[in-house]
Amino acid sequence: MAIHVKRAFKYRFHPTDAQAAELSRTFGCVRKVYNLALAARTEAWTRQERVNYNQTSAMLTVWKKTEELAYLNEVSSVPLQQALRHLQVAFTNFFGRRAKYPRFKSRKKSRKSAEYTTSAFRFRDGRLTLAKMREPLDIVWSRPLPAGVSPSTVTVSQDAAGRWFVSMLCDDPSVQPLPATDTAVGIDVGLDHLLTLSTGEKITNPRHERRDRVALAKAQRRLAKKARGDGANRAKARRKVAKVHARIADRRRDTPHKLTTRLVRENQTLVIEDLSVRNMVKNRSLARAVSDAAWTDFRSLLEYKAAWYGREVIAVDRWFPSSKLCSACGTLQERMPLNVRTWTCDCRTTHDRDVNAAKNLLAAGLAVTAWGAGVRPQRSTPGGQSATKQETPRREP
């Protein structure tokens, strides 16, 4: 069965000085328009009035005609309109109780980005030229776009480390369901080992943050000694800290991508545990290690890749006693402290704690497939509420 997948392809690029200046102006204008529209909608809300995207778009036309905001005419109008659309989506999610109230964008802390639609860029023969620019971007093509497709949306961004990226949203016809297999695997996540599979395989936790902890601490100490303000030395020190964080984030993102791709290709059914990572990071002793393991990212990647390639992901209830249950005879142990890594059941079977948990997760997941057993709860919404709970959405003024 053919599926329609829109996929973003992200690349680094190296702008010329003129392109960097133009994009920086665009980022500033996008931030200004977003904040002005948010302020207008917030003020209208206090008066019990309703302001939507069409009204903010009309406001933008008026703002451009004022002497104070005439500089908005110097950049492409498309990223400004897209900023208003993003604000509309933010309010829609807020009133639908899927997100918090939209916040103003900060010059120093907010992500620098601008989105261009097809009317604001030209893509020909592998060369991308944005509106208001004469030369195409110098893109580092780390992988090719799917043959015969063109991007429908282009997003340009700059991270805190000063690196420039372009993300192209395209239809990817190469994403097709894989041939069905009869293989299934249980996956237990951990800290000593990032993943333990029901097959007995253990995947070591690379601990990316720990590898760069000394370099990060050194860069942060140097930043702390710089005088606060907009000085060049402080900006340089802040950029060095950002580069260390970027290196950690890149590695942390690469590992789960490779693991999930491999697991989805090899298995038809993948069973995981429905962990509450949000609550686990509240434990100060475990927060750093849990965040570094990136369990939430792993699950997200696993689920969307499984949907792409015709696989099934089953999440077993977090209260299922996978560690205390004997996978051989089904005997439930009363206690199983975390320091116990191997144990012997009354049936004389010796278990590795993590492998046994993965086997039990697999058995519980297969029970869901066969009998519809109640071991897979509904996922939570971004606001933290159960997805099964009926809620009354916020009423727009």
Q: Which two tokens stand for residue 288?
A: 């750093």
Q: Please report where in the chains the tokens 């006693």 appear, as a residue.
A: 321
Helices 17-46 and 77-95: crossing angle in degrees, nearest 10, is: 40
Return d(Cα 315, Cα 317) in angstroms, integer.
7
Catalytic annotation on 209?
A: no
C-beta of residue 103 within 8 angstroms of C-beta of residue 35: no
148 φψ region: left (φ > 0), alpha (ψ -120 to 50), beta (else): left
The helix/strand/coil state of 280 is helix
For 167, counting Cβ atoms within 10 Å of its Cβ (0-12 exposed, 13-18 middle, 19+ buried), the class is middle
Return d(Cα 13, Cα 136) in angstroms, integer.
10
Marked catalytic residue, from 22, 115, 172, 188: 188
Chain Cα centroid distance, residue 340: 34
Catalytic annotation on 125?
A: no
Q: Which two tokens stand for residue 197?
A: 């599979």
Q: Which two tokens stand for residue 20?
A: 């960097």
Catalytic annotation on 250?
A: no
Which run of H or E residues covers position 288? helix 287-293
Please list the residues that pair with 157 across neighbouring strands: 113, 165
Return d(Cα 101, Cα 92) in angstroms, integer.
10
147: Cβ–Cβ under 8 A, 6 or more apart, which residues? none
Count of alpha carbons within 13 angstroms of residue 387, beta-carbon side: 7
Q: Which is it for the CA torsion 295, 301, 304, 309, positive or negative?
A: negative
Marked catalytic residue, from 172, 273, 274, 292: 273
Active-site residues: which are they?
188, 273, 354
